[in-house]
A and B are shown apart, each in its own frame.
Chain A
Amino acid sequence: MKQKTLFIVALVGLLLVFIAGTLFYSTQKEKQATQMAEANRAALIRMHSPTLGRAEAPVVIVEFFDPACETCREFYPLVKQMMAANPDRIRLVLRYTPFHNGSDQVVAMLEAARKQDKFWPALEAILASQPDWVQHHTAQAPLVWKHLDGLGLNLEKMRADMTAPEIARVIAQDLDDARTLNVTKTPEFFVNGKPLPSFGYEQLSTLVEEALSSSQR
């Protein structure tokens, strides 16, 4: 009987140490991430990034995203809803982290569409058709074109604009900033410079609520 007690005590002890270690580690990580974001304010928002919402909005959501990332696709309407529920109070800044193979080509398409002032419709069409052009976690840019029909885009001009060196520079800068801010997964959100404590829609909406209420005071 003593043996059983010993075993159970050891088992519970090990699990408790593991849970305590996990909690300790994640609190430390969260602190570090907040400090890192504070120390690298410049890396968070660049002049070249596409933005949505009023420029003076009190709450700024910076989203590091990959057009080929499924979770980014799922989060997009949620963020839009959040913005619609708080008109003129939230601004969205998109940063590119094309982690999927071939995804940088799709980002270049978005940037080319942006030159024709059709960034957001193009983004929505691209996200809506994502299952069609992402195959085995690889973005197939040639398959994207047909989904851009009907948006009034000059596709010929887009193809030429896509190869512009400044687009490559924007992507390189965004990836570089992602490294600085330790962004390794997409989507990654920063609300007024604060990273999510852990990943999830609840965590994002809580952080946005907090930012909204503190801006009211």
Chain B
Amino acid sequence: MNTTEPLTPVRNNTTAWTLIFGAWLVASVATLGALFFGEVMQLPPCVLCWYQRIFMFPLVLILPIGLFPFDRNVVRYALPLAVIGCLFAVFHLLLIARVIPESIKPCTQGVPCSQTVIEWFGFVTIPLLSVLAFLTILALLVAAHLRSSK
């Protein structure tokens, strides 16, 4: 009993590490994707896209800091970014799906947020990708929090 006990937290921490690493992978793919749309394809980001970028980009830096050496507290630092970013992404998705009426859309000049610039397979839009990325990151972070030892 005494010999097996210390092993369990270590294994749990390994699982938590992998989950946070997964969250970092998703954040990095989302960040590089956003940069590809903006800088390579030269699609101008709308105001809501900028807010989502503000909450996505820092995750790429914050999460690895919690990976080396492993620090379970990184979930606490990363979670607010993921939650707020997710809210923006959901709002954006509802806006382009016209669930939220045009009148309360927050951007009045520049690129309208309700404009769909990319539509793959008829339903994959940039805000949908953003919602999926933020939700995946949220799920992975929460799972890491539950798995990691106190």
Contacts and interface: CB of A to CB of B under 8 A. Distances in A.
Interface of A: 3-4, 6-7, 10-11, 14-15, 17-18, 21-22, 25-26
A4 B29 CA distance: 19
A25 B25 contact: no
A18 B68 contact: no
A7 B64 contact: yes
Contacts of A3: 17, 21, 67-68
B111 to A, nearest CB: 13
A25 B21 contact: no
Given A3-B17, A4-B68, A10 B25 contact: yes
A7 B68 contact: yes
B148 interface: no
10 contacts: A3-B17, A3-B21, A3-B68, A4-B68, A6-B21, A7-B21, A7-B68, A10-B21, A10-B28, A14-B29
A22 B29 CA distance: 14
B124 interface: no
B32 interface: yes
Q: Which A-B residue pairs are the 3 nearest by beta carbons?
A: A18-B32, A22-B40, A14-B28
A15 B40 CA distance: 14
Contact of B67 (A7, A17, A21): A7
A14 B21 CA distance: 14
B7 interface: no
Contact of B32 (A6, A7, A14): A14
A22 B25 contact: no
Contacts of B67: 3, 7
